[in-house]
């Protein structure tokens, strides 16, 4: 009798764990199903939206051809920019310059894969008091990001859409799947010409 009670008690304790394991073992992660197709479609849609907005006279959207091509602009060799705040600075960084920027990088899913400073949330990254801008060489970023930086003025805050061809291409990184359209919120804080140090950030 005692053995039977112990068996039933053990079964009552173990059964939920067994059921739980069998339930989750069958689940599959579909986050990245048809990833290239979805990213291509998403970028094509935002490219078309930007074209429409620009044709309607909007000053909030821009399309910039990659600095590295002499071909006509296409969705594969261009970035799309939504201007969230217009800066007041004059002049733009050059390919050989260094910059300080606040930024966050996002995947199509909205997952953040990178950010400047200590804090991950948007408000802190772009807070005048909490931000800690990253120092970068313009030429040392992915082609689409380098293209954007060379068009920015100090104080600009842009949402930049970069097709995978101007991002990490068909290669995957630890945080970024292959064929990923990249989205960056980026704010240009400072820049310095080659050979000159960036101003000290306070």
The verdict on residue 20 lying in a domain is: no
Q: Kindly tell me if the per-residue pLDDT of 98 is higher than 60.
A: yes
Is 80 exceeded by the pLDDT of residue 22? no
pLDDT above 90 covers a percentage of the chain that reads: 82
Instruction: Give me the domain span that covers residue 100.
Output: 35-192
186 lies in some domain: yes
What distance, in Å, lies between the first and last C-alpha atoms of the chain?
Answer: 76
Rounded percentage of the chain residues whose pLDDT exceeds 70: 87
Does the pLDDT of residue 105 top 60, yes or no?
yes
User: Is the model's pLDDT at 166 over the cut of 60?
Assistant: yes
Please report whether residue 99 resides in a domain. yes
Confidence check: pLDDT of 23 > 80:
no
Counting the structural domains of the chain, the total is 1
**Is 115 inside any structural domain?**
yes
Whether residue 13 is contained in a domain is answered as no
Q: What is the pLDDT, as a whole number, of residue 28?
A: 81
What pTM was computed for the model?
0.86
Does residue 2 belong to any structural domain of this protein?
no
Answer whether 186's CB lies under 8 Å from 101's CB.
yes
Q: Does some domain include residue 174?
A: yes
Residue 29's pLDDT band (cuts 50, 70, 90) = confident
Asked if the structure places residue 198 within a domain, the reply is no
Return the CATH number at 55: 3.10.50.40
């Amino acid at each position: 009798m005692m053995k039977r009670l112990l068996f039933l008690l053990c079964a009552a304790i173990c059964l939920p764990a067994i059921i739980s394991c069998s339930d989750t073992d069958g689940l599959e992660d579909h986050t990245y199903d048809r990833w290239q197709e979805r990213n291509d479609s998403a970028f094509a849609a935002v490219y078309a939206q930007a074209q429409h907005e620009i044709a309607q006279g909007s000053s909030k959207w821009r399309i910039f051809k990659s600095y590295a091509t002499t071909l006509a602009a296409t969705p594969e060799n261009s970035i799309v920019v939504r201007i969230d705040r217009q800066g007041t600075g004059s002049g733009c960084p050059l390919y050989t310059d260094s910059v300080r920027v606040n930024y966050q990088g996002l995947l199509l899913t909205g997952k953040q894969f990178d950010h400047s400073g200590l804090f991950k949330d948007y408000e802190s990254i772009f807070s005048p008091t909490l931000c800690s801008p990253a120092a970068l060489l313009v030429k040392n970023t992915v082609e689409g990001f380098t293209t954007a930086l060379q068009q920015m003025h100090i104080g600009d805050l842009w949402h930049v859409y970069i097709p995978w061809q101007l991002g990490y291409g068909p290669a995957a990184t630890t945080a970024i799947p292959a064929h990923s359209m990249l989205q960056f919120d980026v704010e240009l804080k400072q820049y310095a010409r080659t050979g000159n140090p960036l101003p000290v950030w306070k």
